[in-house]
Amino acid sequence: TIQRHRHSTAAIHPPLIGGVETGAGAPQASTAQATVADRVLLQPPPARARPRLAGAEAGLDILVAEDNEVNQMVFTQILGETGYQFEIVGNGRKALDAFGRLNPRMILMDVSMPEMSGLEATAAIRRLEAEIGTHVPIVGVTAHALKGDRERCLEAGMDDYLPKPISPKALLEKLERWLGSDAEVRRSAG
């Protein structure tokens, strides 16, 4: 089932969901030299506007691909307070279809989903984008925050990753990073 959401712009007061990030998913200081993959993640998003895909609906900010109903509710609660238009789909195949129809500005892609995984859906989206010359930021959402899993996300064409459980603060930081100052404006509106 596809869920479409549109909420009025409101100030963000992050709900208490997901808990504090500790352990494998928490950011950690490191003195090690950055790898190529680290440098890719540290690149700022492109500032240029993307052309709309032919036949795509206008106006979708965020496409969320997530098969777990509890996580869908978490995304709905957090994103519902941002003012962004978002849509939630339940698997990679539906994400690929919604990408073509809705032309989202950003995709939050669960890595492990039925029918078509997030990695497979991302690779298919990147092939489509190569044909038309666009690039939508895709953030991999995964319960596996180990280094090897992060590398798999990047190799599939994802731009960034977000560990589960979903932290409102971490999600809002990803929105600000990949949607730019627009996220900051929406966060302070109200």
**Structure confidence by residue, pLDDT tens digits, 60-116:** 899 999 999 999 999 999 999 988 999 999 999 999 999 999 999 999 999 999 899
Judge whether 108 and 62 are in contact, CB under 8 Å: yes
Entry pTM: 0.69
- Give the C-alpha separation, 138 to 124, whole Å: 12
Amino acid letter for position 176: E
Please list the alpha-helical segments (H only) found in 103-157.
118-132, 147-155
Over residues 136-181, the pLDDT tens digits come to 999 999 887 666 777 888 888 999 999 889 999 999 999 999 998 6
pLDDT, one tens digit per residue, over 33-45 is 334 444 344 444 4
Rounded distance, CA 190 to CA 151, Å?
39
Q: How far apart are CA 141 and CA 70, in angstroms?
A: 14
CATH tag, 3-7+57-188: 3.40.50.2300
Structure tokens at 157: 């064409």
Q: With contact defined as beta carbons under 8 Å apart, do 132 and 141 qualify?
A: no
Phi and psi at 37, nearest 5°, equal -60, -40
The residues near 74 (Cβ < 8 Å, ≥ 6 apart) are 17, 18, 165, 166
